[in-house]
Amino acid sequence: MSSRLKHHHGEEEGNSERWLLTYADMITLLLALFVVLFALSTINNKKFLELKLGLTKTFSQSPITSSGSNGLLQQTNLTSHPGISQQRSVINTGHAAPIAAASSPSLAQISQQINQTLQQQGLSQYASTSVSTRAVTVQVLADKAFFAVDSANLGVVGDQVVDAIAGVIRGDPNNVAVEGYTDNQPIYGGPYSSNWELSAARAADVTERLSAVDGIPMTRLQAIGFGQTHPVASNATPAGQAMNRRIDVVILGHGRVGP
């Protein structure tokens, strides 16, 4: 009789401790939840843009862009912009608002103001401007003002050039496309696996500065990576390769950037 009571008592003690397993599982799940919430609260905008580029490269062969309320990735069309081909890596920073043509300065005036600002700040040797019927293009050679080899970070002079451009266009309604280009040399090692990724990351870095530091609304901005396509000089010589490693800040005259 006593042995049965002891056996029954032992089963009750074992059953009474089973709640600890459930409690431990709940604590573990809560810890995982807090880790995820903390990670989401410290998102790096530039890294997120690079993540979207990686998703684009992995899951699609067509140009993809972010779309705000219409989902993370969406097809876009920029064929209205001169010089933009169907093959490209595109990162959109937000919906672009239509240009109010009547309130915009002329493209010739914008180009003149940018040239004057660069000259006044002693930066004219690092950038050149050109004007078409649709846009002002400010071309900056990466080797002179922007990046180290296989790096997407702006240099000190690059910061100054971007800030000078932003100072002219900040109060205008014009949309801006930042286009990144590289030479045809393959990339070995480092954080970027291809010229597509490197060019898009450099364009994203410039775009982020225009928004975060210079105060240009994200809805006016777009970053585009062209990789080694669209060279402006022959890649057969080091001088030509240096000219092809560039960033173009394209101030659009009319229309929209993005979908």
Per residue in 64-81, pLDDT (tens digit) is 333 333 333 333 333 334
pLDDT reported for residue 214: 95
How far apart CA 62 and CA 136 sit, in angstroms, is: 27
Low-confidence ranges of the chain (pLDDT < 70): 1-17, 40-104, 146, 149, 254-259
pLDDT score of 178? 95
Q: In 10 A of CB 34, how many CB atoms? A: 10
Q: Which letter does DSSP use for residue 126 in this model?
A: G
Residue 193's pLDDT is: 84
Rg value, the chain, Cα: 26
Outline where DSSP puts E strands in 58-194.
64-65, 74-75, 89-92, 127-131, 135-141, 176-181
Class of 45-252 in CATH: alpha beta
Q: Point out which residues pair with 221 in neighbouring strands.
A: 176
